[in-house]
Amino acid sequence: MKQVRKKILPKYLKEVWSGNKNFELRKDEDDIQVGDELVLEEWEPETGYTGMFALRTVTYVLRNVPEYGLMDGYCIIGF
C-alpha cells in the first residue's frame, strides 16, 4: 500500500466530503492500486494549497478500456 497525493479544486472536494463524488478520473501516472490511500488536497488556482484535504482508500481502479471511451493513459479511481 502506498499514499498518492493529488490536487483537487474546492467545488469537487466538497462533493467528495458530502459523499456525492466517490471517484476520480486521472492520468494513470502513479500506478495506483486497490488498497492505496488517495489524499485529495484542496487547490485554489490563485493561491495554491489551502490545507484542506480528504483521505480515501482506493476500492477500484478502471483502466485499459478504450472501447468504453476511457482514453489510453487515463484511469478511473473509485473510493
Decide: 51 and 57 in contact? Cβ < 8 Å: no
**Distance between CA atoms of 52 and 75, rounded to whole angstroms?**
24
Mean pLDDT of 47-74: 97
pLDDT band at 59 (very low <50, low <70, confident <90, very high): very high
Mean pLDDT of 51-63: 98
Q: In CATH, which of 2.30.130.30, 1.10.3720.10, 3.20.20.80, 3.30.420.40 is domain 3-78?
A: 2.30.130.30
Decide: 78 and 60 in contact? Cβ < 8 Å: yes
Domain residues of the chain, as ranges?
Answer: 3-78
Could you tell me which residues come within 8 angstroms of residue 7 by beta carbon, excluding any fewer than 6 positions away?
40, 41, 43, 49
pLDDT of residue 65: 96
pLDDT band at 55 (very low <50, low <70, confident <90, very high): very high
Q: Are strands 37-44 and 74-78 parallel, antiparallel or unpaired?
A: unpaired
